[in-house]
Structure 1
Amino acid sequence: MSVEVRTLHLQHIVQRDCVLSLQTIRNIAYTFLQILIAFSAAKAFGANQYLGAVIGMIMIHPSLQNAYTVATEGVQQTQSVFFGLFKIDMVGYQGHVIPVIIAVWILAVIEKKLHKIVPEVLDLFVTPLVSVFVTGYLTLSIVGPIFVWAENAILGAIQWMLTLPLGIGSLIMGSLYAPTVVTGIHQMYTAIDIGQIAKYGVTYWLPLASAANVAQGAAALAVGIKSKDKKIKSLALPSSLSAFMGITEPAIFGVNLRFFKPFIAGCIGGGCGALYASLVHLGAKGTGVTGIFGILLCLNQPLQYLIEMVIAVGVAFAISFVIYKDAEPKAVTADVTETTGTTETVENIEIADNNKAEETLTSPVNGTQISLSEVADETFASEMLGTTVAVEPADGKIVAPCDGEVSNIFETGHAVCITTESGGELLIHIGIDTVKMDGKGFTKKVSDGDKVHARDILVEANLEEIKNAGYQTTTMMILTNTDEFGNVTKAEPAEVKTTSKVMTLTK
């Protein structure tokens, strides 16, 4: 064998190995996505996260037919359940999200009930075993099939809409694609791609998804360029780049949904791009890549793909740039009348809500300030509502962190809203999912409109009653109008008292 032939042979082996490794790494998260979703959902629902992961494993067990093969191979096996009452398809839940979340919610309910009734000496063994077995059986026999049917009905409706004349269906679905990303339903769209490739040799869905994705990126880019806020710029610009690569979550959740109008602009741009793609019958030869690199799957129609991208980006960027505005400082207008002789002059004087340049907030409860990564609720942990401080309370006395006014105290007593002297809008949320307790365990000490001073008691919470009901007592203090402050800083996690400074607001 000549040196040239050996060299080419070696290059072929290296390339093959590299491609294999890259494919494995690229697909790993999607291959086990249901396990990751179940693990995260268990944290949100207050269940054991490892038991949640087990439920995810059950739903994609190798003994079940891979859901992605059903479109081309059909259902290979069925199984009788409930002593022969009916049969179910033995198909896994690859590409499905909603059944996984529902299954973990059932697990959380069962686990919490068992913790209350099973003797402590048996709890460690009985509760996990029974929780997983009952949840797994109910999921595979009832919950899974029902929600898969519902998801398939949605997919069928989408497929039908794509056949509507003049690209109307694509216009609608291109506009609605981003909202489905918010709900997580988009994870099941792979079934559409695979089904269309099997039937037509191409998928008309992927170009639609690409238009929707880059449109959200363009809307975020417009925000980043137009905004004068450095924090918004630092978030919007990299988020838009990520969306152009096909990963839209940072742009959607971090920027567009936060200000909402850019999100609508992105939806409109996505619809316009999808409309063009439908009119020119733009199809992709494969699936898995959207955004800029999606052109690699459309090399049979690269020009049409580029035009689609330009339309989606241009429309979304233009609309977002026009309708987005940075939030203005709250102000009221007062009319001051001056009378000199027979001449009356009216001047409009803008009076700011407050003049405090800096305000310090103390902990709303004695206890331990924890890292947000330890908070078992993704909404609070991700600071989606605003800058957040979380405390594991040592007692149930929830106090005002500063002087201010109670703008709203929930009927259930589990949450209080306070407006501070510097204009900060605070939400103090006692426990996780404690709204479900319907006020049990909470004694309100203030009413709407009450003026409060730092360390005045707002609510007395019965921590034991909350824990016995199966809920966590972690208490969050959220600054919901963070954007209206130039700088917001938080203290590092540590033991805290109601005199400890945990947040500083600077105008």
Structure 2
Amino acid sequence: MSVNKQSVENIVEAIGGKENIVAATHCVTRLRFALKDEGKVNKEALESIDIVKGSFSANGQFQVVIGQGLVDKVYNEMVEMTGIGRATKQEIKDAAEAKLNPLQRAIKALADIFIPILPAIVTAGLLMGINNVLTGPGIFYDDKSFVEVHKEWADLASIINLIANTAFVFLPGLIGWSAVNKFGGSPLLGIVLGLMLVHPDLLNAWGWGAAKQEGNIPVWNLFGLEIQKVGYQGQVLPVLVASYVLAKIEVFLRKRIPDAFQLLLVAPLALLITGFLAFIAIGPVTFAIGNAITNVFVGIFDNVPAIGGLIYGALYAPLVVTGMHHTFLPVDLQLISSTGGTFLWPILVMSNIAQGSAALAMMFVAKDEKLKGLSLTSAVSAYLGITEPAMFGVNLRFRYPFIAAMTGAAIAGMFITLNKVIAPSIGVGGLPGFLSIVPQKWIPFFIGMAIAIAVPIVLTWIFAKLKKDK
């Protein structure tokens, strides 16, 4: 598809002119701007442009949804037309981050750490889902699993499970790589740090509870100080804090040690100091904090599951708008590690499906052909776990579809929480999400999905008719 120069000119004018642009880059589908003043953006004019599918502001960046493939051409034309320099995504992030408050910076830091490793986690979740199908009793046969009846498939399921589990068993290695990179250190040292925390010589974190009851937790004796030899498999907080400490120590040492000695001193000293701190203080303290966070969420959802599911289902989409949803991925991973499954992630699936359903309903009630096309494509995207086009391109623009989706997600979230639906892994947050749910809970999960589809469609249609009657 060729680019209409007038459309590109209109985009630049609608965001306040080239003088309002600090820097600009693009991702797979969106133009990303760091603007001097977002108040100068004319959203109505911007979203009336034929090639624009939506726009929104997040984490200090103003983003314009264009579409895959076409966004490259639009960006190139805009650079040529305005004379602005090509910026990297990191430069855009740095320019945008300067305008964030401390809470927003903390949330953005979490997003920057977990988004790069999300593909590995989702892939692991999907593969674990396939293993669940093969090994779950009652799916194909009344009281037996598929591999129990067809034993020749057992080793295949075992290999799939090993491949799937790798990302979760060595999760601290993935987080260490991403976190140390985010905090300004060497990613390779982050990997070593993360793997150090799950070294096979340490007591596996999943066996810590039983070992504590039996009173046989192995320890190191350092000059009278006993340190538990415990690993942190599946844990999030220990490696996050240790990665921050490692990166800061490394940066401190690099500034003060001559170049000729850096290879011999910086990495060994940084890892040695961080390693001692991790096992003596950081690990035990953050392990206890992680368990406390788990207990809070488990307590809420055990004692008032209807209210917990209702509120989280209703608020998840607004959390996405603010970017705060990234703070819950570590909680999901902590719940999986501590309890064997998360009850929060299935509600995320309900919210994504509800947003897609509201956008789908807009395809039937809208008269504008461009909006109809955008509604359909964004609904399909949401059903596959990517909700931004549906939320920012359609639902938030008209508000009532967004409210309808929140309502549907709240009801569905309450229903699946009351039925104790859990996910032992994180997968695709859409229609394929059932693969990540324990097979015994598929029926209530499918009913929840039906609620998340039906309620937003019906409410969006009703709201649309009421608005036309006024």
Report the TM-score when normalising by structure 1: 0.49
CA distance 1:267–1:44, change in 2 (3 Å): farther
Instruction: Report the Cα offset of residue 191 of structure 1.
Output: 3.5
Q: Does 1:219 align with 2:361?
A: no
SS in 1 for 2:172: helix
Q: Please tell me whether the aligned partners of residues 310 and 414 of structure 2 are also in contact (alpha carbons under 8 angstroms).
A: yes
Q: Is the 8 A contact 2:359 2:378 kept in 1?
A: yes
Cα deviation, residue 21, structure 1: 2.5
In 1, Cα distance between equivalents of 2:240 and 2:357: 32
Equivalent residue, structure 1, for 2:182: 44
Q: Aligned pair 1:61/2:199, yes or no?
A: yes
Q: What number of residue pairs does the alignment pair up? A: 295
Amino acid at match of 1:53: I
Residue 130 (structure 1) aligned to one of 256, 265, 269: 269
The answer (yes or no) to whether the contact 1:171–1:272 under 8 Å persists in 2 is yes
In the TM superposition, 1:261-276 aligns within 5 A as 261=396, 269-276=408-415
| Equivalent of 1:311 in 451, 463, 466 | 451
The structure-2 alpha-carbon separation of the partners of 1:169 and 1:302, relative to structure 1 and needing over 3 Å to count, comes to same
Task: State the distance in 2 between where 1:265 and 1:90 align.
Answer: 51
Is the partner of 1:210 in helix, strand or coil?
Answer: helix
Q: Percent identity?
A: 26
CA shift digits 1:436-474 (9 cap, x unpaired)? xxxxxxxxxxxxxxxxxxxxxxxxxxxxxxxxxxxxxxx
SS of residue in 1 equivalent to 2:235: coil
Corresponding position of 2:243: 104
1:288 aligns with 2:425: yes
**How many angstroms does 1:23 deviate by?**
1.7
Matching of residue 143 in structure 1 with residue 274 in structure 2: no
- Given residue 270 of structure 2, which amino acid in structure 1 is its aligned partner? S
Q: Counterpart amino acid of 2:451?
A: I
Q: CA deviation at 1:171?
A: 2.8
How many Å separate the matches in 1 of 2:407 and 2:450?
Answer: 14
Counterpart residue number, 2:345: 209
Name which structure has the greater RCO, CA cutoff 8 Å, separation 6+. Answer: 2
Contact (CA 8 Å) 2:362, 2:372: kept in 1 or not? no
> In the alignment, is residue 79 of structure 1 matched against residue 215 of structure 2?
no
Say which SS state the counterpart of residue 384 (structure 2) adopts: helix
Task: Give the whole-Å Cα distance in 1 for the aligned partners of 2:211 and 2:404.
Answer: 40
Structure 1 residue 188: Cα displacement: 1.0
Equivalent pair of 2:379/2:390 in contact (CA under 8 Å): no
Q: Which amino acid aligns with 2:291?
A: N
Partner residue in 2 for 1:189? 335
Partner of 1:242: 384
Alignment of 1:165-176 (within 5 A): 165=304, 167-175=306-314
Residue 137 of structure 1: SS of its match in structure 2?
helix
Deviations 1:315-358 (A, max 9, x none): 4666789999xxxxxxxxxxxxxxxxxxxxxxxxxxxxxxxxxx
Deviations 1:375-396 (A, max 9, x none): xxxxxxxxxxxxxxxxxxxxxx
Distance 1:298 1:270, change over 3 A: same
Conserved 8 A contact 1:78-1:89? yes
Match of 1:20 among 153, 158, 161: 158
TM-score under structure 2 length normalisation: 0.52
Contact 1:219–1:317 (CA<8 Å) still a contact in 2?
no
CA distance in 2, matches of 1:92, 1:230: 53
Shift in alpha-carbon separation, 1:282–1:124, aligned structure 2, 3 A: closer
Cα distance in 2, alignment partners of residues 26 and 100 from structure 1: 21
**Greater fraction of residues in helix:** 2
Q: In structure 2, what is the Cα distance between the partners aligned to 1:136 and 1:323?
A: 58
Tell me the alpha carbon deviations over residues 361-388 of structure 1, each in whole angstroms, 9 at most, x when there is no partner: xxxxxxxxxxxxxxxxxxxxxxxxxxxx
Structure 1, unaligned stretches of length 5 or more?
1-8, 195-202, 244-249, 325-507
Q: CA deviation at 1:138?
A: 1.1
Unaligned runs of 5+ in 2: 1-146, 364-369, 465-470
Question: Cα deviations across residues 280-322 of structure 1 (Å, max 9, x unaligned)?
Answer: x4456x7336665537956556543322222234446667899
Q: Is 1:32 paired with 2:32? A: no
RMSD: 4.1
Aligned equivalents of 1:258, 1:146: Cα separation in 2: 43
1:257: how far off? 8.0
Q: Is 2:424–2:436's contact at 8 Å kept on the other side of the alignment?
A: no
Say whether 1:121 aligns with 2:244. Answer: no
1:365 corresponds to which residue? none
Cα distance change on mapping 1:89 and 1:317 into 2, 3 Å: farther
Distance 1:222 1:168, change over 3 A: closer
Read off the aligned partner of 1:294 and give its amino acid letter: F
1:170 match: secondary structure: helix
CA contact under 8 A between 1:276 and 1:308: conserved in structure 2? yes
Q: 1:264 to 1:45 in 2, by over 3 A?
A: farther
Alpha-carbon offset, residue 58 of structure 1: 1.0
Contact 1:211 1:274 (8 Å CA) reproduced: yes
SS of the equivalent of 2:219 reads strand
1:43 shift after superposition: 2.0
Q: Please say which of residues 228-237 and 264-273 is displaced more in the overlay.
A: 228-237
Asked if 1 retains the 8 angstrom alpha-carbon contact of 2:349 and 2:433, the reply is no
Paired residues of 1:216 and 1:240 also in contact (CA < 8 A)? yes
Of 413, 416, 419, 1:277 maps to 416
- Name the CA distance, whole Å, in 1 between partners of 2:188 and 2:338: 32
The answer to whether the 8 A contact 1:103-1:143 is kept is: yes
| Aligned residue in 2 for 1:362 | none
Contact 1:265 1:320 in 2 (8 A): yes
SS in 2 for 1:163: helix
Based on CA coordinates, which of the two structures has the bigger radius of gyration?
1
Name the counterpart of 2:302. 163
The amino acid that maps onto 1:154 is I
Change (3 A) 1:309 1:238: closer
